[in-house]
Structure 1
Amino acid sequence: MVGGEVAVVSRRGAERLRGGHPWVFRSDVERVPELPAGVVRVEAANGAPLGWALWSPRSEISLRRMEANPERVIDEGWWYDTLRTAIARRAPLAAEANAYRLVHGEGDGLPSLVVDKYGDALVVQLLSAGVDVWTETIVRALRELTGCTGILARNDPAARDREGLPREVKLLFGDVPRTVEVLEHGVRYIAAPWDGQKTGAFLDQRENRVLIGGLARGKALDCFAYHGSFALHLAKRADHVCALDVSAPALARVHEHAERNGLTNIEPVEGDAFDVLRAWHKEGRTFDTIVVDPPAFAKTRGALDGALRGYKDINLQAMKLLAPGGLLFTASCSFHLSRGLFFEMLSEAVADSGRRFALRAFTGQPLDHPELINVPETGYLKGALLEAMG
C-alpha cells in the first residue's frame, strides 16, 4: 500500500514538523485526507512538501510523521529498512540480556509502534490507527529480520481507545509462551508477555538495576518491588534484601525468582510502602541501600500535584531510613513529572529530612528506549542515585 492521499497542515503544524517533532494535532490539519487510516503525504498550505505521515482520523494526534523525504515511497521496503536500522542499534545489548526493546515508537522514527523482544518471541503494540493498517507488513518484516518464533500483539493500552481501535491481546504469528525466562546481566526472572505489566516486564530499568546492584551492600530495601527485579540485583552483593510490595501474588513471584537464582537473602514483605517505611522509622530501623521505584503516580497532567506530594513523601521516608554513607536509588516513570520537577521534589525531600545528600548520578533511559531531544514525549524515565553524607 502506498499513501496517495494528501493532508494539508497549518503554518503552526508545518513549523512543528520542520522543528523535528513528528506530531500534528487535529486543529492544525487544514485539509483532511479521505483515507480512513494509513499513510498520507503531508504538505504545507503553500504546497511545500513535508514528507509522509501516519494518518489517524479519530485521534487528537491526527498525523505522525514517519518520513521527511517526500521522494521516499512508504512501502514494504521502507518498513523493512527502518525496522532493520532500529534493530541493529540494539545489537550490543544481546551480549548481556535476552530481553529488550527493539522499537521505541517515535524515538526510532516509527511512531506509535513498540516492539519488545523476549528470548525468541516478540511482543508488539500498534498504538495508532495509521500504524495498525500496516500490521501484516510489520509482522513480515520482523519475522525476516529477527527469525522470531512468535509475535504477540499486546494491543490493550488505553491509547487505542482514542484511535477508535479495539483493545485486544492477539497472536499474530507462531507461538508465544505464557511465560519467558529473561536473562539480564546474570540475573534470571520470569516475564509474562500475555498478561504481565507493560509488554511482560519492566525492560526500561535494566541498566538502573545493574547500577545499584553493583553498589549494593549491607541491609537493602526494594520498595514497590513487584516481581523483585531490583531485589535480585541487590541480593548479589547485599547481605539481606527486603522486597516490599502491597501485592501478595507479586511477592510470590519474588520468592520464585529468588529460588531461580539460588538466592536465600531476599525477604518478601507485604504492605503499603508509605505505611511500612513510617513504621520502620519509628522502630529505628535503617538500611544501607534503598531503591524507590514506584508506579507512575502522575498518569495525567491533572494528577501532577498529587503525584508530587506522593513522590516527595515516599522519598522523604526512604531518606530517613538510610544509614550514614548509604545509597538511595530513586526513579519516576511519570512523563508529566519533568526532570526539573523531579530534581526539585528531591531537593525538598532532602531539606525536610534535615540531612545532607550528594548526587552520585542522574539517569535517563537506556539504549533501547531512545529519547529524542526535540521530542519530549519519547522520554519519561528519570532516576537519581543519592548518597547520605551523614
Structure 2
Amino acid sequence: MDQAKDYVGKEISIGAWVTNKRSSGKIAFLQLRDGTNFFQGIVLKNEVGEELFDTAKSLTQETSIIVKGIVQEDTRSKLGYELLITGIEVVGESHDYPITPKEHGTDFLMDHRHLWLRSSKQHAIMKIRNEIIRATYEFFNKEGFMKVDPPILTGSAPEGTTELFHTKYFDEEAYLSQSGQLYMEAAAMAFGKVFSFGPTFRAEKSKTRRHLIEFWMIEPEMAFMHQEQSLEVQEKYVAYLVQSVLDNCDLFLDTLERDKELLKKYTQLPYDRISYDDAVALLIENGFDDIVWGDDFGSPHETFIANQSDKPVFILNYPKAIKPFYMKEHPERTDVVLCADMIAPEGYGEIIGGSEREVDYDRLSQQIEKFGLSTEDYSWYLDLRKYGSVPHSGFGLGLERMVTWISGTEHIRESIPFPRLLNRIYP
C-alpha cells in the first residue's frame, strides 16, 4: 500500500495479514498489513453478499489473505487511503495468535520476537532502521567514500581482548571482531576515504538499555584528514540521517509518537563542543561528586552534559589512559588524545566515538607494548606507518544506538530485528 496514491479508484489485488477487525450487521472493518504499511479494508455486506461478508467476519488475527478491492482516499487514516474490499481469499489460517492487543511483559515479547516484529511499533522502528541504512550508503557515496568490508574473524584485538569472543581458527587463536577500524586504516591508505558497515561483537557483561552483544557499526576512515575535519564529517553525516528519516518516515515517526520538531533541531549545524576538562569541571560544579579527572563518563554524566544543549554534543580530548592505543596524542599535551565522543540528546548517550590516529611508527610501537599487546600481531598495522604514513582520522557510529535515538525508543533491544543480549540468544 506504499503506492496507494497511484491506484486511487482502481481495483487492486494484494497479499496481506489481518491484524484486527470489528464489524456490525452491515459493515466490517479489517485492519490489515502488507509488509510495507498498515491500512484499513472495508467490507460492505450489501455490495459483496452474505458469503464474503461472513468470511470477513470470521477472519482471525494474523490470518494471511489475498484481498481485492478499490483504493479510496481516506483523510481520517494516517496512510490517507483505505481499501473497499470486493474479494477475499484465505491463504493461511492463524489460530490462537500469542501476541494479542492486550499488554504483554517484555520477556514474553522477547521470547516471541519472531512474531513481535509484526506489530505496528516494531514495524515502524525497523522501517526507520532501514532508512538509516539506505541513507548511510547514499551519504558516503555522495561524499566520495568507498565501502570496504573488514574481516569478522581477527587474530588480534584493537581495544584489548577482555571483552571479545574467543574462538579457535584451526590451530590458531582468533576473536570475533569488536571493530573493523584497524583494517579500515589500511584501506584508507589504499583508497583515500573508505567506510565499513558490518556486524561487531562485544563480550561485555552489561545489562543496560544501551548495550547489545552483537550490533552493527559504520566505520569511516579518511586519509589526509585531521580530527577537526573528521568532526565536520561526523556532524554532517548524523544530520543527514536525521533529515532522511524526517523526509521518508513520516508515518512511522507518527506511529512511534516521535516529536518531529525536536528531530528537526538535530539537523542544524554545527553541533556544540566541550572539552573533557570543561565537562569534568561542569559536572563537579553541578554536584557530581563521583567524578574526578581521569574517569570515564557514565550514563548520568553524559546525559547531564548533553542536556546543556538542544543538539548532539561533542566531548573532546579524553585522557590518554582511558582510550585505545592507536589514538594520536594531543600536540600540546601528553595526558590527552585527539579524540571525541558524540553524545545524543534526550539521555541516549554516545552514538559516535572517533579520533585522529597515531602516525609515528616509534610512538605507536611503544603504545602497543604499553598496552600489553604483541608487536608481532600488529606488525601489519605498524607497516602502515612505515610506507607513506599520512595524517588520518576516523570514527565509528553504532547503528542500533542511532536507531534507538532517532525513533525515540526506550531500549536498544528493539532497534535490531533479533537482539543478542547477555542472557538471550533465542529466538
- Normalising by structure 1, we get a TM-score of 0.25
Q: Considering only CA atoms, is the larger Rg found in Structure 1 or Structure 2? A: 2
By percentage of residues, which structure has more strand? 1
Normalised by the size of structure 2, how large is the TM-score? 0.24
Work out which structure has the larger RCO, using CA pairs closer than 8 Å and 6 or more positions apart in sequence: 2
